[in-house]
């Protein structure tokens, strides 16, 4: 499956429209796979994870579990 065409991609709402440093998140229409790519260079590939793993990652970020000391 070509994830670039199979995913519905979106950028963070805070990234603005000026091409800032941002990642894009994509999900398949069924919602079973999440993909992450660089918004400035989408042709360079993406990282694919299950939506459950991505949800756990976001939860850890929100709880500051991944902050550097």
Give the per-residue pLDDT at 18: 63
pLDDT in tens, 5-63: 688 888 877 676 665 678 888 988 888 888 999 888 888 989 999 989 999 999 999 99
Give the per-residue pLDDT at 16: 65
Token look-up 């939860």 returns 59
If one counts every other C-beta atom within 10 angstroms of the C-beta of residue 26, the result is: 19
Give the per-residue pLDDT at 67: 94
């Amino acid at each position: 499956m070509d994830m670039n065409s199979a995913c519905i991609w979106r950028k963070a709402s805070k990234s603005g429209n000026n091409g800032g440093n941002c990642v894009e998140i994509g999900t398949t229409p069924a919602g079973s796979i999440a993909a992450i790519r660089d918004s400035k260079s989408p042709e360079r590939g993406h990282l694919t994870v299950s939506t459950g793993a991505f949800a756990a990652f976001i939860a850890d970020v929100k709880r500051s579990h991944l902050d550097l000391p």
